[in-house]
Amino acid sequence: MKPLILLIFINIALFSSGLKKDVPLVTNEIYTNECGSCHFAYFPGLLPQNSWEKLMSGLDNHFGDDASVDEQTFQTLSKFLNDNSAEKNMNYKRSRKIVKSIAKDEVYIAISKTPYIHKKHKKIRKDLITQKEVKGLFNCTACHKSAKKAIFNDDDVNIPNYGKWED
Least spacing, CB of residue 46 vs ligand HEC, in Å: 5
Query: CA 47 to CA 44: how far, in whole Å?
Result: 6
Burial class (CB in 10 A: 0-12, 13-18, 19+), 119: exposed
Cα dihedral: 133, 162, 110, 37 (round 10): 30
Residues 131, 129: Cα–Cα separation, whole Å: 6
d(CA 82, CA 1): 40
Closest contact distance (angstroms) between CB of 79 and ligand HEC is 12
The number of angstroms, rounded, from the C-alpha of 59 to the middle of its chain's C-alpha atoms is 18
Q: Applying CB under 6 A, does 154 fall inside the site for ligand HEC?
A: yes
- Please, what is the minimum distance in Å from the beta carbon of residue 18 to ligand HEC? 17
Work out how close the CB of 11 gets to ligand HEC at its nearest, in angstroms, rounded to a whole number: 26
Q: Which stretch binds ligand HEC (CB under 6 A): 5-13, 63-71, 83-91, 99-107?
A: 63-71
Question: For residue 16, how far is the Cα from the chain centroid?
Answer: 22
Only segment of 7-15, 84-92, 99-107, 119-127 that touches ligand HEC (CB under 6 A): 119-127
Contacts with ligand HEC, residue ranges (CB under 6 A): 34-35, 37-39, 42, 46, 55, 59, 62-63, 65, 67, 77, 94, 110-112, 117, 120-121, 123-124, 128-129, 134, 136-140, 142-144, 152-154, 157, 159, 165, 167
